[in-house]
Chain A
């Protein structure tokens, strides 16, 4: 498929452009881009559930929290993960995210549609409750400050170096998830999204498919948490609060669910609106809220569906992207 190849080339070109342009801008833009990229891994993990499996999770921040708190606690309590052992922390954070999802998935996967939304909300609140209240472990409301970034041959305190590291992790995650959704396993997930009953009749163990997707999403959530902890320099209950999960969900839908890169675009738009626009005008949150509301009302396929819509307008019978449902 040539259109497929064009899309891949476009994404690679965009990543290359980011890699070249961003380090030559000011430190504000570098920091913002780094944040957006780290968070975008979480949004993509959510998109695996939302866009490809048809499971709308309202508790995805829990996995980011798992990775982030793991990183912060190891770094501040045990001085662990500040040298070459950073790579171990990456593995641990990812594994803990997956482990948490493996436990939560046992409870959540059976639920469908709105009930899945509610149960993931409840599970997310469990993690938030612990982060908020378990003072002796998590520092409670104040959170945990990470005083330094890892240093191993390269010094991640350098913002450009750190930016490249996050970009690399992001690109690797995007590639891994892309390969995953194009694999036979990914195809079956899409089948479950469209017609779960039919898939079950065809002999697929749909529960197991959904469960595995849920655990994989948890793993990427954990990874994004590890990066987030070092990006922000502080881990607090705000990272696992309901609104963070909601943010991730909105970013995925804003960009276009079921597209992976759509979530990244959503993340960039929201981060730039929130952190750049807020320094310029006081009414930035109206802009953000309106963007959400208008997208949901008039652009259910998200920003990524715009090219297809334009093609349709022009009269070409471009492939219609199915809207995603809960």
Chain B
């Protein structure tokens, strides 16, 4: 276990964290704005990957698959929010259960359409190479993941902090009734945020498919990790999601490398402890 081991593990952890940021940030925003624990968020990730596969099989273009899959999943999320979640009104338990019901339906649909096989989403050759940085061979694809998460994180941050729309979203996170009172259309904000969250998860699915591969059951594997990101970072906080994703990515990688037998425990136990001490997460707002 020399320096290289630590560097490589750290790099892997950070790139995994980048992927988790894509899934977790959307989940966090959805929770912050709507107080919905969206258990179909993992399905969005999985469906994003599957739709990308179909696009790649028919057109051969990975670059086209990225936006198409993400937008298709965003549309799905939007429809789910408008048709099913919104009419339920504010009833957390029923909302949670409804999203689980949909997660099961999506699972079956994915199994029927894309069979139960494992598929790799092969990125273009330009991204499949490795680059040498200071004696370490780093896969370019993982660097691409980090770059994507960075770009998306910065864009999201700018939108949230610098635009009128973003201010309205933040107001809704902090106090929805008050936001409605000053004339913010919180229903439209909810729709927008839900679609955005689904978009990010779908995008994550395409990108994650490049190194996790896409298979049935991935939805409920990624879901608890996304929740760990949200909980550690604080629900509804973008910066928190970034830090949470980084911590979970690193904890997952080092945990698996250093203490394989209790690696998931080392991930979820801190999550439970944080929740117990500070239910809104490390960086969440009351």
CB proximity to A under 8 Å, residues B253-286: 260-265, 267-269, 271-273, 275-276, 279
B107: chain A residues within 8 A (beta carbon): 285
Shortest CB–CB separation between residue A257 and chain B, in angstroms? 9
* Interface residues of A, dominant DSSP: helix
Cα A132 to Cα B268 with chains together (Å)? 13
CB proximity to A under 8 Å, residues B122-149: none
Partner of B92, one of A113, A123, A125: A113
Shortest CB–CB separation between residue A56 and chain B, in angstroms? 5
Q: Classify chain A's interface size.
A: 35 or more
When A126-B268, A289-B102, A293-B101 are in contact, do A133 and B260 touch as well, CB less than 8 Å? yes
Does residue B192 face the partner (Cβ distance < 8 Å to A)?
A: no
Partner of B261, one of A56, A126, A135: A135
Shortest CB–CB separation between residue B136 and chain A, in angstroms? 28
* Interface residues as binary, A103-116 with B (CB distance below 8 Å gives 1, 0 otherwise): 01011101101110
The answer on a CB contact under 8 Å between A242 and B220 is yes
Shortest CB–CB separation between residue B139 and chain A, in angstroms? 25
The answer on a CB contact under 8 Å between A326 and B264 is no
CB proximity to A under 8 Å, residues B86-129: 88, 91-94, 96-98, 100-102, 104-105, 107-109, 111-112
Does residue B168 face the partner (Cβ distance < 8 Å to A)?
A: no
Partner of A300, one of B94, B220, B271: B94
Residue among A106, A110, A119, A290 having the largest count of chain B Cβ atoms under 10 Å: A119
Partner of B223, one of A129, A242, A282, A325: A242
Does residue B84 face the partner (Cβ distance < 8 Å to A)?
A: yes
Shortest CB–CB separation between residue B24 and chain A, in angstroms? 13
B98: chain A residues within 8 A (beta carbon): 293, 296-297
Residue among B101, B223, B273 having the largest count of chain A Cβ atoms under 10 Å: B101
Residue among B31, B92, B261 having the largest count of chain A Cβ atoms under 10 Å: B261
CB proximity to A under 8 Å, residues B33-67: 35, 37, 39
The answer on a CB contact under 8 Å between B84 and A293 is yes
Does residue A148 face the partner (Cβ distance < 8 Å to B)?
A: no
Partner of B93, one of A132, A133, A324: A324
Does residue A253 face the partner (Cβ distance < 8 Å to B)?
A: yes
The answer on a CB contact under 8 Å between B271 and A122 is yes
Shortest CB–CB separation between residue A121 and chain B, in angstroms? 6
Does residue A134 face the partner (Cβ distance < 8 Å to B)?
A: yes
When A130-B265, A133-B261 are in contact, do A119 and B272 touch as well, CB less than 8 Å? yes
Q: Classify chain B's interface size.
A: 35 or more
Q: Which residue of B lies closest to A288 (CB)?
A: B104
Q: Which residue of A lies closest to B273 (CB)?
A: A107
Residue among B31, B88, B105, B268 having the largest count of chain A Cβ atoms under 10 Å: B268
Cα A290 to Cα B264 with chains together (Å)? 33
Shortest CB–CB separation between residue A109 and chain B, in angstroms? 9
Does residue A246 face the partner (Cβ distance < 8 Å to B)?
A: yes
Residue among B88, B97, B98, B273 having the largest count of chain A Cβ atoms under 10 Å: B97
The answer on a CB contact under 8 Å between A121 and B224 is yes
A136: chain B residues within 8 A (beta carbon): 261
The answer on a CB contact under 8 Å between A296 and B94 is yes
Shortest CB–CB separation between residue B257 and chain A, in angstroms? 13
Q: Which residue of B lies closest to A257 (CB)?
A: B93
Cα A133 to Cα B255 with chains together (Å)? 11
The answer on a CB contact under 8 Å between A129 and B268 is yes
Q: Which residue of B lies closest to A324 (CB)?
A: B93
Cα A297 to Cα B80 with chains together (Å)? 13
When A283-B108, A297-B84 are in contact, do A325 and B92 touch as well, CB less than 8 Å? yes
Shortest CB–CB separation between residue A150 and chain B, in angstroms? 30
The answer on a CB contact under 8 Å between A250 and B269 is no
When A122-B227, A126-B268, A129-B264 are in contact, do A243 and B220 touch as well, CB less than 8 Å? yes
B269: chain A residues within 8 A (beta carbon): 126
Q: Which residue of A lies closest to B93 (CB)?
A: A326
The answer on a CB contact under 8 Å between A242 and B275 is no
Cα A121 to Cα B279 with chains together (Å)? 13
Does residue A292 face the partner (Cβ distance < 8 Å to B)?
A: yes
B residues apposed to A, CB below 8 Å = 31, 35, 37, 39, 84, 88, 91-94, 96-98, 100-102, 104-105, 107-109, 111-112, 220, 223-224, 227-228, 231, 260-265, 267-269, 271-273, 275-276, 279
By Cβ-Cβ distance, the 3 closest A-B pairs, closest first, are: A129-B264, A326-B93, A292-B101
Not counting A125-B268, A253-B93, A297-B88, a sample of 14 additional A-B residue pairs whose C-beta atoms are within 8 angstroms of each other reads A56-B93, A114-B92, A117-B93, A119-B279, A133-B261, A133-B263, A246-B39, A250-B97, A285-B111, A286-B105, A286-B108, A292-B97, A293-B98, A326-B92
**Can you give 6 A-B contacts (C-beta < 8 A)?**
A114-B92, A133-B261, A134-B262, A283-B112, A285-B105, A289-B101
